[in-house]
Structure 1
Amino acid sequence: MIKRNILIASAFFSFSLGIAQQYGGMWIPTELNEREMKDLGMKISAKDIFNTQKPSIKDAVVQFNGGCTAEIISPKGLLLTNHHCGYGQIQSHSTVQNDLLTNGFWAKNNGEELPNPGVTVDFIVDIQDVTDKILQGNSNLETAQINANIQKVSAEINPAAYQKVVIKPMYYGNKYYAYIIETFKDIRLVGAPPQSIGKFGSDTDNWVWPRHTGDFSMFRIYADKNNKPAEYSKDNVPYVPKHYLPVSIKDKKENDFTFVFGFPGRTTEYLPAIAVEKIMTEIDPARIAVRDVALKTLDEKMRTDDATRIQYASKYASVANYWKKWIGEVEGLKKSNAVQKKKNYENSLAAKNPAIKTTIEQMNKLYAEQAPYALNNAYYSEVVRNAETLTLANMFYNFVSAFDAGKMDEKSITSFKNRLSSFYKDYNAELDAKVTAKLLALYANKTASQFLPEGFTEFKDESKNIINLEKISKNSVITGRSNVNGASLSENIDKAFSNQENLIIALKKDPVFLLFANVRNAYMKTADPKYSSLQTQIDALQKKYMAQQMETDKDRKFFPDANSTLRVTYGQVKGSSPRDAVSYNYQTHLAGVMEKYVPGDYEFDVPKKLIDLYNQKNYGIYKDKTGDVPVGFTATNHTTGGNSGSPALDAKGNLIGLNFDRQWEGTMSDINYDPRFSRNIMVDMKYILFIIDKFADSKWLINEMKIVK
């Protein structure tokens, strides 16, 4: 009886958190669940969110630099995104003498705003369902024909000269949508708090709630004199948007409606149970193990050397981000009993449609056969990605292959040289020799012998690797520590490339090049062909399984997995109870920052001015009913990577927060959304405005905005 009551209570708990969010949802903005959104409290209409006939909220939401989201918050193109989304740009303007990461940056007028070559923002002008034109009534159309149809449809749409068309598959290729995109290329840094605010809590608090991070930075979009996209020019002017978001500083209450509008990166909500089990027990643990070694090695150096800390700050944060996410994902999948939940769903579908049983059995067989190859793929990919010396070697391997095949023209060589220049800027060959040595030892010890190069067991000893890798690194052209054509690649790329034939000869003899080629060739021979072949078969079955789910489960409203396209997710402001006897409020405050404050600590130090503001209670209009400044809050919005920087909006479409993270216990929502644990984390707009106004003395930026009191 006790057990039965627990089950009933658990079921009621899930139900009470929000009927509309049983499966979460990242909805295409042209196909919103408007009725459910209004049932939960939304006061505006779907046409206020996405409309091609008049200004709407979508005109204020952009994809920032291809990976994050940002939003326009003033009629002068002022852009708000996360501190961690702008981190690379803040770092690029930083030096040991002028450390903007540590000190922050605030332009006092338009003339002081800093250009960022290569940074872009993308507006979605329109979304069109083009499934019929692409598939032509045949869901099993050959890939070559689909690609030909995509090219044809893209040409027929015929966008303006400053626009482009991107056609994306949805539901594993069962549907296709065309996105008309407008890209702006003159994006300037306006303001960023010091990382003691913008990155407060750093790696310790990453993916964790309660959270007290002021994770925001500010940029501005510039356009030509006709308000059209243009390359950077001193003659460009601030962009005038079709719509910008009013900023609300009203207090929040539990169960308030909220929605998040942005560009979520990737989810896989419709995988079979066997795939989820492999991720949980094999793939994620392998990825975690590789990054664990890399991060510990980098951290030892970064803590003792400021130049290395600045040089590797952005890269370290990037590596650590998914390392911790995967740890939480594994725990969350176990806690939410995701594998059994998937199995139960598969059985219920098969009872309605016997063909699904056959599909599941086929996928189970393929995943089991692929398992050893998939595990090797995970280790190999992560080692090459996180050992920068091997990353460089991979880049040069591809360059040599293309050169030998006659595919490197002057334009390609210039592009490659630019990539190298960017890479070497933040590359420490001596430090990475240690990282590479340790990762090769891990690879040699964790990889089945059938996948290793002949004689590779000599790399199992980490201490010997460190000595050997330092030696070959010193004698390597690739690492920039040995010259070619009288120059080092890391110091004078143009001179090193002055005689390309000599460079190619040197590369083919290079000890790092030969080491990488040995590892790569073994992987490509023993693992990749089988892994890729099986994955192709799995993908075809996944497409079939997706179609079967949608045909069979008539009670469920489906949304497509995230794929970096514009989406809306919605929910309610809520706290959580992720573990026994643990309950979290939905809101944190400035007092919590001071509770975590550790003087001089690289994660939990606090600027003196913020301490003074706190002690003086100099909060202005930015305090809430408690008398304190709200810092962060949580809600049940279904978000993922790419939603960083997304606007969190209230029932009337006003900006109330800035999405930047998820609660650790719910990071498995990329695979299995569970309303009991899944919470997105947002910076409260009151805290952002408080920092801009009181801390940064940048009221000129506040004056640009429309504040809703």
Structure 2
Amino acid sequence: MKKILLAVVALLSIFPARADEGMWFLMFIERLNHRDMQKMGLQLTAEEIYSINNNSLKDAIVQFNGGCTAELISGSGLVLTNHHCGYDAIAELSSPENNYLRDGYWAADKKGELKPKSLFVRFFVRMDDVSKRILSKLNDNMTEAEREKAINQEIALIEKENNEGGKYVVSVRSFFQGNEFYYFVYQDFTDVRLVGTPPESVGKFGGDTDNWEWPRHTGDFSMFRVYGDANGNPAEYSPNNVPLKPKQHLKINLNGVKENDFAMILGYPGRTNRWMPAGGIEQNVKFAYPAWVEGAKTGMDNMQKYMQQSDELRLKYASKFASTANYWKNRQGMIDALTKFQTAKTKADQEAKFNKWANKSENKARYGSVVETLNNYYKMTNEKSRHDMYLNQLFRTTSYGSIGRGLGKMLENYAKADEKKRQEMKPQIEDAVEGLFSEQHIPAEKDIMAAQLKLYATKAVGYPIAPVVEKIAKANNNDFTKFVNATFDLSILTSKERIAAFLEFPSEQLIVNDPLNQFSNELLAHFSKRSDELAKAQNDYGAAYRKLVEGLRASKLAPIRYPDANSTLRLTYGKVRALPADKRNDAKVNNFTTFDGMIKKYKKNDPEFDLPQRMLDFAKSKDFGRYQDKSGFMPVNFLTDNDITGGNSGSPVLNGKGELIGLAFDGNIEAMAGDVIFDKNLQRTINVDIRYVLWLIDKYANAKHIVDEMTIVK
């Protein structure tokens, strides 16, 4: 306890409390944020939010499948998250005959709940500071590689000491660019089953057009249930498993929201880069992100050609297309926002002040060359960042671009192994093959690969492209169709039957010389190749970035006082807060949207704005029951000014009593620079009103038995 108190006292000068901005560690809430939160409307104690020894709010919050957040909302393991977070699982469980993605699904009872192949939730148990322990193993004479090795060795010891023989997952993470370290203890549950989802036309209403936009009218939620063994412990799927009885579940409040109401969000924000130097922002805006946008669009266009042909193909590519489209619009929004607000210039001005401080006699030896080193690195890698992003989008949008490090490597290792080892490896390979072919269509993969190779060969001009691609481009006038067709047709990796035959009669020479495997490995080798000059620059950059953050904090010149997000549990607090009046929104105050506003957007047979007939019927009958606002409208979405980012999708929005009032699912495009710099005037979180969620379950889906599980308060 003494160690924790000393850490908190030391951090008081580092983390001054500031409303709205900041993604805060729960273990420091009492000293750093609690008083500020109380002034804004919090009615909970710090112990009720985060406690090691007693049940607390943190026990109801889980990381969902490694990339989103979810919350327990019943005493029987019922989990609520976003529709787009459950999208992969819903698509996997769907078929042309039972298209749950298109039509929605609600289990009539627990026997009807559906188990996807791979899905897990992660409960947060505790965290602690191990900065002194790890930093004591390091010194300034180490290279970055030596430093990383020493850190990893100590991390392995810390993880072993705290996992209780494998009962827990322990993760040690660095903060402030490697200046501090904390470990986090988790418990994973892998038997997670789909309980219900609205149809995609509701859960994704507005599609890519409305993505990152306000006003919004999206029912972005889905529901799952966590199962364990009879003793409440994690267990692999079994019909004998029982619904988990969680330590804590959230109560649900149906009173609605109004301007300036307190709003608190707990979740697992993925990554922010608010300490990023000016040169990194400039590199992203001018080099990396434009290539990302163009590469993503190229992949999407070629997926869409096939998705329009049949429900089967649409389901195959639904998840990859949705993910690609999300980042495509996000990165374009970031380019626009970072350019408009001259964020790189703001950072450069801050770094100029730092550089002046750094070159004072007492600081020069340690910090004097930091800014120069960073800027030199970015100048050296600007064109490479563009090159790498074009190639990265090839890897992201086609299943075969990076297959050499996946299935190709598995088959190479299989061929080298003895018979006993092969029998051990075979089930894993067969699962990988099944997964690969369930998510791709060879004609589509050919088109995506050919289009991405052409884009890469013609646009990544400031840095040498892969020699094999350059050779093919010159021989075929940048048309890769013939090459791709031949390579796919000759490869064993494009046929389940050929792979099955290979498993029966493995040949190392055959897989090593497989044309597609060989081509993928050449792309991957070029992607990761580093000259000695670049390796040295990366080493110097890593040390300089760490010293920049260290020096900014020591000099009190740091523009922020909290660590970047890195998929660890954080708390953010703020208020329900409107944007300026918008004629597109029929709401009286531009901090919420209504069912009527959604109906006004309806376009029959439009892939983004169509609605089921049943929704249109309810628009006429106005049968909204107890979920209707006291002012007479049916709420859909609302705004808060919480500080969130990717990974917060599915996070609970809580009132001052810790009761669930909504579900975070998006941000507004005007504040798309938020991962780099927080704008207190523009930053908004877009949330699904919990009343709309419950109305959809109860009235629309006739699944009142699910609502009856919940603890609802007035």
Give the TM-score normalised by the residue count of structure 2: 0.90
Q: 1:479: which partner in 2?
A: 494
Task: Give the alignment partner of residue 434 of structure 2, picking from 408, 421, 425.
Answer: 421
Give, as a single letter, the amino acid of the residue that structure 2 aligns with 1:165. V
Change (3 A) 1:521 1:624: same
After TM superposition, list the pairs within 5 Å mapping 1:334-353 onto structure 2: 334-353=339-358
Q: In 2 relative to 1, CA 462–646 (structure 1 residues): closer, same or farther, beyond 3 Å? A: farther
Does residue 1:637 correspond to 2:670, yes or no?
no
- 2:226 is paired with a residue whose SS is strand
1:444 correspondence with 2:457: yes
The question of 1:488 aligning with 2:494 is answered no
Q: Secondary structure at the match of 2:258?
A: coil
8 Å CA contact retained: 1:336, 1:674? no
The secondary structure found in structure 2 opposite 1:166 is: strand
Cα deviation for residue 158 of structure 1 reads 4.7
Inter-CA distance 701–165: structure 2 relative to 1 (3 Å threshold): same
Query: Matches of 1:470 and 1:454 in 2, distance apart?
Result: 16
How far apart in 2 are the matches of 1:604 and 1:267? 32
> 1:74 offset after TM fit, Å?
0.6
CA gap 1:111/1:511 in 2 versus in 1, 3 angstroms:
same
Letter in 1 for 2:245: V
Name the structure 2 match of 1:20.
18
Q: CA deviation at 1:387?
A: 2.5
Instruction: Assess if the C-alpha contact under 8 Å between 2:402 and 2:521 holds in 1.
Output: no
User: Residue 405 of structure 1: CA displacement?
Assistant: 7.8
TM-aligned CA deviation for residue 30 of structure 1: 0.8
Structure 2 residue aligned with 1:9: none
Cα distance change on mapping 1:557 and 1:447 into 2, 3 Å: closer
Distance 1:297 1:535, change over 3 A: same
Pairwise CA distance, 1:216? 0.5
Deviation at 1:351, TM superposition (A): 4.5
Q: Write the distance in 2 (CA, Å) between the matches of 1:126 and 1:422.
A: 35
1:498 to 2:504 alignment: yes
Q: Is the CA contact 2:414–2:425 (under 8 Å) kept in the aligned structure 1?
A: no
The equivalent of 2:540 in structure 1 is: 537
Report how far residue 385 of structure 1 moved. 2.1
Q: Residues 20 and 139 from structure 1, CA distance in 2 versus in 1: closer, same or farther, beyond 3 angstroms?
A: farther
Structure 2 CA distance for aligned equivalents of residues 529 and 613 of structure 1? 66
Residue from 394, 398, 405 that aligns with 1:387: 398
Over the matched positions of the two proteins, sequence identity in percent amounts to 34
Pairwise mapping of residues 3-42 of structure 1 onto structure 2 (< 5 A)?
Answer: 20-21=18-19, 24-32=21-29, 33-42=33-42
Q: Which runs of 5+ in 2 are unaligned?
A: 1-16
CA-to-partner distance for each residue in 1:299-332, whole Å, 9 max, x for gaps? 1221232221111111110111111110111111
How do residues 284-433 of structure 1 correspond to structure 2 at under 5 angstroms? Answer: 284-354=289-359, 355=363, 356=367, 358-399=369-410, 402=413, 409-410=421-422, 411-412=424-425, 414-433=427-446
Q: Deviation at 1:353?
A: 4.5
Q: Which moved more, 1:419-428 or 1:140-149?
A: 140-149
**1:91 Cα deviation from its structure 2 partner:** 1.1
**Partners of 1:161 and 1:515 in 2: how far apart?**
40
| CA-CA distance at 1:438 after TM superposition | 0.7
Paired amino acid for 2:664: N
Task: Please give the alpha-carbon distance, in whole angstroms, between the structure 1 residues aligned to 2:165 and 2:443.
Answer: 49
Give the Cα–Cα distance (whole angstroms) in 2 for the partners of residues 61 and 455 of structure 1: 47
Alpha-carbon offset, residue 524 of structure 1: 4.3
2:192 alignment partner, one of 187, 192, 203: 187
Indicate how the Cα distance of structure 1 residues 463 and 286 shifts in structure 2: closer, same or farther if over 3 A, else same: closer
* CA distance in structure 2 between the aligned counterparts of 1:374 and 1:557, rounded to whole angstroms: 27
Aligned amino acid, residue 503 of structure 2: F
Q: CA RMSD in A?
A: 2.6
Aligned equivalent of 2:519:
515
Cα 1:514–1:147 change in 2 (3 A) is: closer
Query: Of residues 160, 167, 173 in structure 2, which corresponds to 1:168?
Result: 173
1:114 aligns to what SS in structure 2?
coil
Determine the C-alpha separation between the residues in 1 that align with 2:237 and 2:390: 41
CA contact (8 A) 1:649 1:657 kept: yes
Question: Which amino acid is 2:465 matched to?
Answer: F
User: What CA deviation, in whole Å up to 9, does each residue of 1:396-455 have, x standing for no partner?
Assistant: 453466568879954455434422321211111111101111110011101236333167
- In structure 1, the gaps of 5 or more residues are 1-18
How big is the shift at 1:611? 1.2
- The answer for the alignment partner of 2:12 in structure 1 is none
SS across alignment from 2:401: helix
Do the aligned residues in 2 keep the contact of 1:573 with 1:586 (CA within 8 Å)? yes
What is residue 98 of structure 1 aligned with on the other side? Answer: 98
Task: Describe the shift of the 1:135–1:403 C-alpha distance in structure 2 as closer, same or farther (beyond 3 A).
Answer: farther
The code of the aligned residue for 2:198 comes to: P
TM-score when normalising by structure 1? 0.90
Mapped contact 1:258–1:573 kept (Cα < 8 A):
yes
Matched, 1:64 2:64: yes
Q: Report how many residues are paired.
A: 678
In the aligned structure 2, how far is the partner of 1:396 from the partner of 1:530? 33
- What does residue 128 of structure 1 align with? 128
- Contact kept? 2:593, 2:635, Cα under 8 Å: yes
Match of 2:578 among 569, 575, 578: 575
SS of match in other structure, 1:388: coil
1:134 is displaced (CA, Å) by: 1.8
Letter matched to residue 20 of structure 1? R
Match of 1:205 in 2: 210
Give the direction of change, closer, same or farther, for the CA distance of 1:532–1:201 in structure 2 (3 Å limit). farther
Task: Tell me the distance in 1 between the aligned counterparts of 2:42 and 2:596.
Answer: 32
The alignment partner of 2:647 has SS state of: coil
Name the CA shift for 1:305/1:646 in 2 (closer, same or farther; >3 Å).
same
Query: What is the aligned partner in structure 2 of residue 217 from structure 1?
Result: 222
1:668 aligns with 2:663: no
- Post-superposition Cα deviations, 1:211-236, rounded to whole Å, max 9, x if no partner, equal 11101100011111111111111111
Distance 1:221 1:506, change over 3 A: same
**Inter-partner Cα distance in structure 1 for 2:322 and 2:663:** 19
